[in-house]
Amino acid sequence: MEPLLTINNLSIKYKEKKGFALKNICFTLYEGEILGIVGESGSGKTTLAYSVLNILPKETHIEGEIIFGKNNLFTLGERDLDNIRGKEIGVVFQEPKAAFNPVLSIGYQFIEFLKSKLRIKKRSDCFKKIEKLFSKVGLNDTERILKSYPHQLSGGQLQRTMIAMALSTNPRLLIADEPTSSLDVTIESQIINLLMRLQKELDLTVLFITHNLALIEILCNQVLVLYEGEIREQTTKDLLFHSPKDIYTKKLIDSFRKIT
Amino acid sequence: MEILRTDKLVKHFKVKKRIVKALDGIDIFVKEKQTTALVGESGCGKTTLAKTILGFYNADSGKIFLRGKDITNVVKNRKFIQDNIQIVFQDPFLSFDPRYTTFSTLYETLKIIRRVPKEKGRGIIIDILNKVGFKEDVLSRFPHQLSGGQLQRISIGRALLRNPKIVILDEPTSNLDVSTTVRIIELLDRLQEDHSLSYLFISHNLKLIKNISHYIFVMYYGKIVEYGPKECIWKNPLHPYTKLLIEASEYKIKDVSLKEKEDTEGCLFKNRCLLRSKKCDIEPERKEVERGHFVYCHFV
């Protein structure tokens, strides 16, 4: 297996904050793997996702390197980055309602995305592509959804659209940043199973960020436990649940067992 | 003993010429010193029920009884309702004024209950805050300086200021992560003992409910579809919707397409139901399967 994403000694400090948001993060993600990143709110999970996309605020203090494929993401120019963001790295964010522009229709946003990333020129070609993608993620009436504005769709529908958009460019890496934490259980279950199926079909490499250990249990092969910006434990899923080494991890698993 | 009971509660909303039946003949009850859970997916009317009980909405028809007294007329009974029922909302960041410190928020609540000078009020507030696990220093903090879990604990403290008999918990932990959730649940458990509280716990997470409730009501689009003691519902779920929820909480639903709920006659769940047959066009009646375990389905 080839390493797809390698992070070396990554430390990040936001301009106005005192401590480091991330401290000395090192890990490697191999092709075809699902790596789960678990931690409480404020542990730096989302900062990690943002740094892989290199969309941190301008004056952030960054140390270390992130190597994606053969490129160091921090030294690339804006134009090369644009070819990677959203194209080679697909993203599904936490809050589907906030991920879309509320004053533009879904169709406009989707077609805009396809035009800029895939250079598809004809509207009808875009439409065909979207229809194919939608059937993959279980959305049936393409036309109605494309005409709708984000507030007219449910969270589940928006998240499916989001996934379809992220997968439209055949990304090499998919970052899913708590993709289901704002959805309710039935929809969550559907979306998770959808992601699992798509991962197998397309042989995707996934960086799955969550605070929900139950999802780690069913989705991931490798797990990384983050706490206050540091990696507390890095292990396989089975070892994490059966013999956690770190005290914090043990506590986390204990509290998880209490409510399940 | 039942401390709160609703009797065929109905509340319909008009949305763009369409009628949304948020509550369509709801009978639930909350037993004294117990936790009663209300489960259902988003949009099924859980929060509307809470708000109707509290008198934020006037019910279209039906009755609500609190400690044996009919409180359906909100205006006449407002004080009685407020003295007995308090609520903790879902999103802690939306339930506090961002410009008020913890002290001003809680003092504001205290002033509504009775006239107290600031110094004495401070004592009472510190007492309550100690109970939910805070020290004095939190008094001068603003909501943005506190975490979701901390705010939720203050929310619980605020609800307790009035010494209620019932606390409605409207998805109190759905915005919090695992370890914070456990802390809140343990706190709620302790407070229930100390203050002999009854809880109406609203949630969409069956796994969470399994651990804390005594009694479960399952709601689907304005109607109760199954209810009974926790053990019965968990070990022997009978309504297809309850089964679906339990599967969902274990991430076992493989069905990837979305089926939308339409306005239908008869059983509301039939469009999503695998057992569907002609019988389902007639509204199912209530059947008792075990002692205290009721189900609304033709196939039970």
Q: Give the residue-averaged pLDDT of B1-12.
A: 92
Q: Is B255 on the interface with A (CB under 8 A)?
A: yes
Q: What is the pLDDT of residue B255?
A: 66
Say if residue A69 is exposed, middle or buried (CB neighbours under 10 Å; 0-12, 13-18, 19+): middle
B contacts of A257 (beta carbons < 8 Å): none
A contacts of B177 (beta carbons < 8 Å): 40-41, 211-212
User: Is the confidence metric ipTM above 0.95 for this complex?
Assistant: no
Position B257 confidence tier, pLDDT thresholds 50, 70, 90: low
Position B161 confidence tier, pLDDT thresholds 50, 70, 90: very high
Contact B41 A185 (CB under 8 A): yes
Position A48 confidence tier, pLDDT thresholds 50, 70, 90: very high
Of the candidates B39, B28, B6, the one whose C-alpha atom is nearest the C-alpha of residue B233 is B39
Q: Give the residue-averaged pLDDT of B7-34.
A: 90
Position A258 confidence tier, pLDDT thresholds 50, 70, 90: confident
* SS3 labels along A116-173: HHHCCCCHHHHHHHHHHHHHHCCCCCHHHHHHCCHHHCCHHHHHHHHHHHHHCCCCCE
- Report the residue of A43, A94, A141, A185 to disrupt the B interface, i.e. the one with the largest count of B CBs within 10 Å: A185
Position B263 confidence tier, pLDDT thresholds 50, 70, 90: low
Torsion angle defined by CA atoms of residues A12, A14, A18 and A20, in that order, rounded to the nearest 10 degrees:
-10
Distance CA A176, CA A210 (A): 8
Residue B18: phi and psi, rounded to 5, are -100, 150
Partner-chain residue, chosen from A139, A186, A259, that has the shortest CB–CB distance to B253: A186
Q: What is the pLDDT of residue A186?
A: 83
Give the H or E element holding residue B241.
Answer: helix B240-249
Distance CA A66, CA B28 (A): 56
Contact A259 B248 (CB under 8 A): no
Q: Give the residue-averaged pLDDT of A15-30.
A: 89
Residue type, A69: G
Distance CA A108, CA A127 (A): 11
DSSP letter at B65?
A: E
Start-end of H helices in A34-120: 45-53, 78-84, 96-99, 106-118
Among chain B residues, the shortest Cα distance to A158 is held by: B258
User: Is residue B261 predicted with pLDDT exceeding 70?
Assistant: no
Q: Which two tokens stand for residue A232?
A: 């507390």
Q: Is B248 on the interface with A (CB under 8 A)?
A: yes
pLDDT in tens, B34-86: 999 999 888 888 989 999 999 998 899 999 999 999 998 888 899 999 999 99
Q: What is the pLDDT of residue A180?
A: 87
pLDDT in tens, A96-150: 888 899 999 999 999 999 999 999 889 899 999 999 999 988 888 899 999 999 9
pTM for the whole structure: 0.84
Q: What is the pLDDT of residue A16?
A: 82
**Strand, helix or coil at B298?**
coil
User: Is residue B152 predicted with pLDDT exceeding 90?
Assistant: yes
